[in-house]
Structure 1
Amino acid sequence: MGDLHDLLEVEVSKDHLLAVLKERQPLMGEIKADSLCDFISEHGITYGILEDELHKFAAGKISLPVVAARGKEPVHGRDAYIWSLLDETADRAAQLNEKSEGEVNLKKVIDIPQVNAGAVIGRKIEAEPGTNGLTVYGETITAKKPRDITLRPGKNTRIEGSEIISSINGQLSVAPKVIHVYPVYEVNGDLNMKTGNIDFVGNVVVRGNVPSGFSIKAIGDIRIYGTVEAADIQSEGSVFIHQGVVAQNAGLIKVKGDVRTSFLNQATIEAGGDVHITTSILHSQVDARGFVFCKEGRGNIVGGSVSSGKGIEVNEAGNHMSTPTALYLGSSAKTTAAEKKYRIQLNDSQQECQKLAKLLKRLTEKGKGSPLSPKEKVMLLRVRNSLIQANEKLNEAKDQLLDFQEIFDGETDTKIRIYQSVYPNTDLHFGKYVKKITTAHQHVQFRKERSEIKFEAL
């Protein structure tokens, strides 16, 4: 047997988590397992050497290539997060409807019970630390440090320790880092000329349909049990629509939170959070800062364009008729513009808070020395209210900028996952890079690696 360096080579994966023994020249004669272990070590590999595999190869029980060493992947820490009563509702819905078409799940999500003043509606779940990994060279792979959060009271809530308590009787509206409780405006049927348009500082529930030409604006969530046509729906929270959207390329659904519905047909959606569609997205324009999910029922996207900041998961993209369909991933021009807007808001709010804090301090100190005049008392109240509002804008800007940073940081990890088929004439956009699908693929995911869009089996 000649020199092992002439006969064998060791190929190490890019992430240094796998070392594979390969043939350089045809092997003749016996190789001792100890010699193989020494050969692996000579390549600087010190961790995770699979001696049993090397012994099997030396004994002729397995052939090349042989996995000679395997590193340990890091287990990344879990970020702190806020648990809410809505999570409990969603968990129950999932248990009831694990294999259904999605309709029961959506019904449960829409049908949110009201809470009473003093009820615990959420709590902080502490972050969990991760575990470092090791490469086959014995080098440490540092686990991602989990992010902490600071509990803040939302509208009509207060913080007690790690719990969030409702201050009023009302309905929850859950944002990523804060929970609100709002009064509820309820329509027991369709919107019509008698009910008129709705503009409400709270949650809105419509137990019927929203016809074309009507509008609903809400500071909280909007829950609609029927169908939405070409209407204008705007929410500072999230929007839940049971029967779907048939918009005929008119109207707009614009929300700061999530959108959940059964299907979209010729609709326009702008969401600051995720978009969850249980059946189909047909000839629609969807722009989500978070994920887009369309995989619970048929789960197909046909025609139009779907844009996501974090990832798209769908059963089918395009169709057998090669209908032009476009999927966009990563930060869009709208995302960049919105990020700039919130940077300006952050700077303006910081300056406003500093100015108001100085004025409040001056008025408070003056009141300690001598009673304030009626005019000064009114000014004191106004300054306090203005400071509360400025702090709310400051916190909103901080939260939004953190979300944007997650999008920008995670662009290299974003993926388009196709659980069934992607058809020709579907274009996949990763920033400025485009992949045009010319032949059908099944069970694949697409991602950007450097300047190339790659696909691999799911």
Structure 2
Amino acid sequence: MFKLDHNGNVLLDINATAPPSAAFVIEALEKSTFCDCKIDLDAINNFFKSESSESILIVASKHDAALEVVINDDKMLAVGELTTAQGGKLLSLDVAKKQLVKAGIVRGYKQVFLEQLLQKQLKAPAGTVVKGVLAKGRLPSDGLATKLTTTVKTLKDRLKTPKLKEDGNVDMRDFGKLASVEPGTVLIRQQPATPGKEGFTVTGEILAPKPGDNKQLVAGEGTEISKSNPMELVSTISGVPVEINNGMRVDDIFTIADVNVKSGHIDFEGSVIVTRNIDPGMRVTAKGDITIFGTVESGELTAGGNITVKQGIIGHQKPEDKSLSCKLVSVGDIHVSHSQYCYIEATNIFIERQTSHCIMKAKRLLQVGQTDLPKGKIFGGEILDATTLIAGEVGNESGAKMVINLATSGAEITADTDNCFKDLAKTDQQLDTLQDALEKADQVKDTEKKNQLIAKIGATQLHYCQQAEQLEKRLSTLDHDLHDLLSDANLAVNAILHSGVEIHIFDKVLKTTRNYPPCNVRLQNNKIEIEFKTS
């Protein structure tokens, strides 16, 4: 009934088969081998409507699968629209690739995209349109900015992390010890800016990326760019690292305006300078010097070097245990303008004007007043220890009790001396025992055994003899130290020594019952004597 010509048309021979209607022809086509071909409905219907006399009618045609490549306006996506075959050939991979090239697809193509689209023509009905992505462009990736990674804890970091107390609460005054670094410590590592990654369209146009912002690593004071690695900033001195813009500096002297709740307690390996004041309840600890240009009120200072307070130090007596709220302890010297209700401990203590109701302990000198002729006032409180105390006025007119202890460390020297004598007695006893053993060994008849015993006892004797010699030297040193300490022990008063002052020098005591003019109070002939100064 139907036949195919060389042009791919399906022909119906009207003379050989006279179909009764258009519906009959269409139904016959759908049941024939040409069912997948494209039926020309218009030609069939027109033939029967016009009662045409044509003997051959084109009722259908074969069509191969066809691919149309559609590129978006921004050229970032190419989509394939595949019309499935109608009685014709399936679209092959090679032919499809040529279509992509013809459409101008240069980049972003993946063969798997095309294969997935071609697979659809096997299942889709004839003559339908199936779609699939064929190529994707890529947007540019902007570069990353220079990244500076801090490798040490800075002051800024410290202030973010208050310490936990034992009860689990946070101490908002205590941020822990200031981070310090040694020379050669890596402070910052630099990761250079990246240029970014270029993008492209499916037609091959390059999309330029935006390069990352480039930052120059800045070496502040006390730092340098590493000679072995230009991407590292290292410290050149010991101190505290402080952030600056795009870099860091290292301060060997930590400087701060005020020590308060906002700053937290200060704990630093080097020296500390406070340009203003220290608020109540705050602590400053330094391995070096501490210098305060303002005042210290009920604060606590601890220094491995000297402590200097340009103005006053002021505390109060705590009601719960009668301790003092202000405390200064220094391995070196302490210099303050004036003090009140404070505990002060140092090698030497210098108070420019006056001190009242303080507890003080100096290994050597405690001076109240200017250097040339100290005439400062000291009253109330207690001197726990000092070798020499120099002041203008000691005590006050009311005769209120005041205790001064000089050469208190002599008790430690005496205790050490007693221990040395005990050790020396034990050593002498051991030597006596060894001497008896040596005499007995000399009576042994076996020569070899006798010689071995004598050698062993002799070595032990040598050990105890050396120990006895060291103890005797130690006793001599302690005797000289005690003699020097008691000779130097002196209360020098340049104006007036009031009544009611209890003076202890080593193990002797003198309590003043009246006022004295300028004088020196010393230990002479095993008792405390007051020597008046001649003008």
TM-score, normalising length from structure 1?
A: 0.44
Structure with larger RCO (C-alpha < 8 A, sep 6+): 1
Larger radius of gyration: 2
TM-score, normalising length from structure 2?
A: 0.38
